[in-house]
């Protein structure tokens, strides 16, 4: 009986060791790839997608009354979370692409950045033509529609891409019912950096 108890205890300790010491990260699947969109940033650069870094890509427009600003606040929390994990700004990008390039001029986007006190250099705001915007949203399979009043109805998916622009995970924006899963996105970006 004593021998059986010792064997059971050793097995239990072995399972506990494997559980607590096994790496928590798993390989992220490859969900698709994005051609290198040549959307210009508001600073004039066009090589954003060829940075060789993991990136979080989200679509927004400055007149958005709810989803976009709430998501930006959550993405600022993501930045803080990654800083707390010793992930530096230079190791990843946060790319925000406007869905309304006619209204969202460079000046208006700069004001939007200032409104949220976004100063990190790894936050990149892209603004192409309406045609370029449509091309890039098609690549991401993101639907959007601008109504006659200027309101845009758009998909609320964000994308984590690896350094080769392959989509490795998708995440929900803040729709008011749930905040962005900052911890999960941080874990995915960390996994792609390693």
* pLDDT at residue number 143: 93
Q: What is the pTM of this model?
A: 0.83
- pLDDT tens across 147-181, in order? 888 789 899 999 999 999 999 999 999 988 888 89
Does residue 9 surpass a pLDDT of 60? Answer: no
CA distances from 136 to 38, 43, 88 (A): 9, 19, 27
Q: Are 106 and 42 in contact (CB under 8 A)?
A: yes
How far apart are the C-alpha atoms of 159 and 37, rounded to whole Å? 15
Higher pLDDT, 15 or 94: 94
DSSP H helices, 26-179, are 67-84, 106-115, 130-140
Q: What does residue 13 show for φ and ψ, rounded to 5 degrees?
A: -65, -35
- pLDDT tens across 107-131, in order? 999 999 999 999 999 999 999 999 9
- Residue 162, judged by CB atoms within 10 A of its CB (0-12, 13-18, 19+), counts as buried
- pLDDT tens across 10-68, in order? 544 555 444 444 444 458 888 888 988 888 999 888 777 888 899 999 999 999 999 99
Q: Are 98 and 154 in contact (CB under 8 A)?
A: no
What mean pLDDT, rounded, does the chain reach?
Answer: 86
How far apart are the C-alpha atoms of 183 and 15, rounded to whole Å? 27
Encoded tokens for 182: 């900052």
Does residue 137 surpass a pLDDT of 70? Answer: yes
Strand partners, 166: 33
Sign of CA dihedral 83, 166, 69, 177: negative
How far apart are the C-alpha atoms of 161 and 142, rounded to whole Å? 15
Token look-up 């911890």 returns 183
Encoded tokens for 133: 């915007």
Does residue 7 surpass a pLDDT of 70? Answer: no
Task: Indicate the helix (H) or strand (E) that contains 21.
Answer: helix 2-21
* pLDDT at residue number 2: 58
């Amino acid at each position: 009986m004593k021998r059986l108890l010792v064997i059971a205890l050793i097995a239990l300790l072995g399972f506990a060791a494997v559980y607590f010491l096994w790496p928590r990260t798993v390989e992220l699947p490859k969900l698709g790839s994005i051609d290198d969109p040549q959307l210009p940033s508001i600073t004039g650069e066009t090589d954003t997608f060829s940075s060789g870094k993991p990136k979080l890509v989200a679509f927004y427009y400055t007149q958005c009354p709810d989803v976009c600003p709430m998501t930006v606040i959550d993405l600022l929390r993501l930045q803080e979370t990654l800083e707390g994990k010793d992930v530096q700004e230079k190791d990843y990008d946060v790319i925000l692409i406007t869905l309304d390039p006619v209204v969202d001029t460079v000046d208006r986007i700069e004001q939007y950045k200032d409104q949220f006190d976004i100063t990190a250099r790894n936050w990149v705001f892209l603004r192409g033509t309406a045609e370029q915007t449509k091309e890039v949203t098609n690549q991401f399979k993101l639907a959007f529609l601008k109504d006659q009043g200027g309101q845009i109805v758009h998909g609320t998916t964000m994308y984590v891409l690896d350094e080769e622009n392959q989509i490795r995970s998708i995440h929900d924006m803040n729709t008011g019912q749930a905040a962005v899963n900052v911890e999960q996105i941080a874990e995915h970006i960390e996994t792609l950096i390693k």
